[in-house]
Amino acid sequence: MGKAKDDFNPHLRQAVLGVVDNQLRENDPPETRETLARLIKKGYSEAEARELIGSVVAVEIYEVMNQKRPFNRERFVAGLKNLPQLPFESDE
């Protein structure tokens, strides 16, 4: 994740990874745990997989906070299913 990871606010990073940890612990949504297992199977370390999942969490937080949109489970799960492509990367 290189430079983007280094530029990320460490407090915000910890908060986002805390959300990922809670989702994994509670198995809610179950797609988070499924995505973790899928990414590890593809060769990502657990830490890398958690950070990729965190990118989807961060985008959803942005949508809720800055765009004033309600949490959208379908959008969130779609973001998880598209990993390792990051939610803010285009298909081009």
In a domain, 53, yes or no: yes
Fill in the DSSP letter of residue 67: S
In a domain, 15, yes or no: no
Give the pLDDT of residue 2: 45
In a domain, 91, yes or no: no
- pLDDT category at 88 given cuts 50, 70, 90 is confident
The parent domain of residue 68 ranges over: 21-82
In a domain, 59, yes or no: yes
Backbone angles phi, psi at 84, to 5 degrees: -85, 0
The pair of structure tokens assigned to 7 is 């530029």
In a domain, 52, yes or no: yes
In a domain, 74, yes or no: yes
Degrees to nearest 5, angle at CA 60 with 54 and 61 = 85
In a domain, 28, yes or no: yes
- Residues 17, 54 contacting (CB under 8 angstroms): yes
Give the pLDDT of residue 5: 52
pTM attached to this predicted model: 0.86
Rg of the chain on CA atoms, in Å: 13
In a domain, 69, yes or no: yes
Count structural domains, the chain: 1
- pLDDT category at 67 given cuts 50, 70, 90 is confident
